[in-house]
Structures are given as C-alpha cells and as structure tokens.
Chain A
Amino acid sequence: EPEVTQTPSHQVTQMGQEVILRCVPISNHLYFYWYRQILGQKVEFLVSFYNNEISEKSEIFDDQFSVERPDGSNFTLKIRSTKLEDSAMYFCASYAGLATDTQYFGPGTRLTVL
C-alpha cells in the first residue's frame, strides 16, 4: 500500500540553526501539507501546498518557515532559524484531490531544538 515517508525520523539541532525536514508524498497525490504536534498538545495545521504554491498557511507559519517541492517527488519544510519552541513532531500529509479521499500522514519527524 502506498505511504507517505519522512526523513529523518529524529533531528536534533541548536537554536538558530536551519533545518530541512523531508517528505515523499504518495506519488499520484496533488495536495501536500505540514502539521506539527508539540508534546502534549493537539496536531496543528501549518501549511497546504498545491500546484507548486502555498494554498493556505496558519499564523504559526511565519517568515522563518518555507516549503518547497524541488523535484516533483520530495516535499520539504525549512525552518531558517530554529527556536526552542519549534521543538515538536512534524507530520507531512498528502491528499489525492478526490472528494471521497482523505489526507494520508507520514510517520513524522521529531525535531528537538537545544
């Protein structure tokens, strides 16, 4: 069964450093998402991406965040200058674009900012 994959599974970084989280969505899907879950809190929407541009972003997704689909396969989330409060589980999701379908999530990347 096709699945969303994410790398790395765990990323540790120093505050102020740049990180790139990588995702490979399901191959025929058209819509891509990043969500995050801070420990003990709910899963929160960050950004949606369709047709090579951002469709919608939350207030969390400020200028420090960017997304890219560099090669038609990978979907990346970049955080330019990480803060302690960016420590969270980051989930990538993809969606085929059919009204009867749903969003499929990857296993997540745990980001720890020290």
Chain B
Amino acid sequence: DQQVKQNSPSLSVQEGRISILNCDYTNSMFDYFLWYKKYPAEGPTFLISISSIKDKNEDGRFTVFLNKSAKHLSLHIVPSQPGDSAVYFCAASAVRGGSNYKLTFGKGTLLTVNP
C-alpha cells in the first residue's frame, strides 16, 4: 500500500546545479505535504512543507511545488551543495495538526551532490 511514492531511489547531481526530487501520492485526502532530510545515524529532519491550498513554497535554496490535479510534488534545491547529500523523504498527512496528525512517508531518494 504505497500511498506516497518516490520512484527514484537515487539521484546524483553536480555541485551548483539544480536537484529535483519527485514524489507522487494516491490518497486524495492528503492535505499537507512535507520533505524531510535524513543523514546516516540520525533521525529525519524537517526541511520544508506545503499546504494543499498552495502550489509553491520557498525557503532559501529549497522550493516545493505541488500539483494537486496530478497528485505530484517536487522539491527543488538550487544551487545544490555537497552538504545536501542525504536521503530525502516525502511525507503527507490528511490533517495538519491535532490528534489525528500522522505522517505517511515515501521510501526516500538518496541524493548525492558531487563536488
């Protein structure tokens, strides 16, 4: 039951170029979407989020785009830096907050940024 899908297990880009990580979802009840970054031996760290009422959210080098009709979101990192090398998880929730707030994760994409 893959409600959140990240079809690319890995992505390799050159330093300074754009990294684009993709995520698709099937559950139309999802209303809030997040990206987490995970380094080895650490827990997932929140990166950026977007509500379903928006189609874009930007925070510094990171931008998340949401296409609700296609049930697709993407994370853009510009410019990419070697320190961005990590596993990136897409996550979704049907609610934003409250006692029913739980995250459904994708399998993750390993991003490698080469110097």
Contact = CB atoms under 8 A, between A and B. Distances in A.
Contacts, number: 62
Interface residues of A, number: 29
A95 B45 CA distance: 13
Given A42-B105, A43-B105, A108-B43, A55 B49 contact: no
Interface residues of B, number: 25
Contact of B99 (A4, A56, A108): A56
Q: Secondary structure of the A side of the interface?
A: strand
A6 B44 CA distance: 13
Interface stretch (A11-19, A72-80, A98-106): A98-106
A41 B108 CA distance: 9
Interface string A74-103: 000000000000000001010101110111
Interface of B: 4, 34, 36, 41-46, 49, 89, 91, 96-108
